[in-house]
Amino acid sequence: MDDALKARLDAVESRARVLELPVRYAWASARADVAGMAALFTEDCDFETGPPGQRLVLKGRAAFAEAMEKLVGAPGAVIALVQNQTAEVSGDEGSGTCVMHNPVAPAAVSPFIGYFEDRFRRVDGVWLFSARCFRFYSPHLDLAED
């Protein structure tokens, strides 16, 4: 196989892997599997979520896991549906977006829908989130400033 074909195959496989990450995140969150959620992130990840004025900003996998231990309820407390995904990869980095609709969530925000802006990085051959930023469409409209 020539180098150009290898590069194209790597790009296709990499894109498939990063498109799978948001789905694996939703799967783990529905099961209240915080360790499984955290395993999808780089050690130095950035994570941001919450309504405007009450943003939760976390730095690093350990901080993410600690916060999720407090926020993620019992299995089935949050059910997320991932859709409208985009992804681009270049070498060992990538970016993308996905809409996440949560028909089952804590009463204060249930149901809610919004989108993630994601960054990805390949570490030791494995694609992981290097950053996730969630913004609400509803019940709190929070569109990012471009």
**pLDDT by residue (tens digit) across 29-62?**
999 999 999 999 999 999 999 887 889 999 999 9
Three-state SS at 63: helix
Three-state SS at 49: strand
CA neighbor of 84 nearest in space, from 40, 38, 23: 23
pTM equals 0.91
**pLDDT by residue (tens digit) across 95-122?**
999 999 988 777 666 788 999 999 999 9
Q: For the chain, which domains are there?
A: 3-138 (3.10.450.50)
Write the DSSP assignment of 14-39 as a string of letters: HHHHHHHHHHHHHHHHHTT-HHHHHT
